[in-house]
Structure 1
């Protein structure tokens, strides 16, 4: 029929056009896209991004919460996963102007960069090529995008100041200082800019091609030892060390918890009966070296997400790597005893390993309290992580008492 609009095929993708008009994506036509219909219209302006839906199959809520299939890519850029039966559709014609790529199944609040942020970032990322914004889903605390201009790509991190916790600060100034301090040594990405935007604090750094969670445990141990031997970082927060300081942190976390599981408090009394471990000389630590914060590159692993650096006991980093609750949360599975032993034997400082083994009951107890707090505040779905670290604390306590 003359004048009738041509029907789009199932392999074509939906586009939220610059003038605010919206076309249905193929999954929305089939009734499978649960989020595409809530993409907001972009306000008028010359730098209005186009929103391109590049994945027509939606995920259920459990898969969106876990996000485990997406952790493996650096800061986890979304790619099709055969495990979920996803397929890559044909691309629609490339629109002009800045583009934002992402999943139609991704909540719009995480997908879209605010227009004021796009405008502010353009001041620091200049070039002839039009920028393309791709959501990176690895960040649980802050919002991340990869911005590509021609052959060069950068990461834009928009901070959520309210997400800081007792154990893990979320400091953009500290991250930018750490990148500036460590990038020349090959331990961190190259920093570009740090500024306050109308949407919140922002840090921009160069994107590192590679995959998270692919770094071998031996390489991670060597990488952390290089960080711990680095020169002190000026104007960096200082962490107290020693067994008394770890117990004090545990008590501060428990003071914010409603529940009081008796196994946790019974274990606390047993840990307090151990000989006190004195403080030690402070060294630079990452503060959050979980698996998704280590990117494997052809030239060796690199640490990302430096929002929690500190001058403190290097055992703090080892404790995060060896925490079962952190392993389950970020790797999807816990390290075996053999893998944990491999990591420790690969760290080139026998005296520090001995100190960690003495403090292991204290660290696991603290992480159990933190996992309980996360469960009570909705940061984790249940208190399984608490029980994982409690069992690890009991095992470490038995070794310390032997």
Structure 2
């Protein structure tokens, strides 16, 4: 029985972010859509607690005999340590070098998901170490992987522009978790009273780091409150990333009253969905993105969206949101005000968003990934190689 191995180390990252959600959701969907005769196994670096990587329908997680730091160093150095399997899918650029063909033995296929081109287009929004590592790993994937999977056509075009290589690049869009797609009248089985949510609020979801445009958003919220002191509060859902973005201090700098800007941190999916459904609008002011998953999740939940003109986000939104120029706090403030104060406009955006989100699913994403691996497996003659 051929085996698809999925590298699941991102599930243990201190700040898993959107790539963590992608890894978990894709694993679930791959297991649900596995072709007859195939198995799906998750593989992680050496660790003791494996609960976060235990997903129904997925074998494993199988534990490699090396810790994460060693594994990262080995693969960055190009050491051809293979994690096993007849096909490997790396949900992030952390991936082994392509396994060479040996004699008549089959070469296992390797697909690597590259979520964005930020290390080339916006390197100042990442750490130097992060830029260097991603450039090395993505460049290698573009030369040596069988397939590079990207979430949008925008990322595909940017990679082709900035990164040499003849690897086949395939666009496979993300999906929407079912927890966000529940009908409006369906009550979610979760209690969020402990979050003490305000009656009206603007919501922003994402890691707290420079490229998310939070300074522009807080500026926009301050402008809203200058016009109307009863304007909505701003709730931020996400963990602190690099750069130590401090929304509370930024809010104080703009003279906003205490509690106007609140950070809720990382929330479980059910709580996030409940918080999202209660929002007046989702704001996505990012300077750079490869997809913009919160935009799609908000649309699925029936929440109007105001987003920046990042090409990938514009592509995902498909005209169902309000687009504003990156870095333009005044335009962002005006657009948020229009959505919040005009219930007819808000309802039209919410309906358009639900229709747009219905075009995306994790099942479709998994089926597209399976197609790549199955075709690659059939194209490689010979025997199946042994695992590492």
Structure with greater contact order relative to length (CA < 8 Å, sep ≥ 6):
2
- The TM-score, its normalising length taken from structure 1, stands at 0.28
- The TM-score, its normalising length taken from structure 2, stands at 0.29
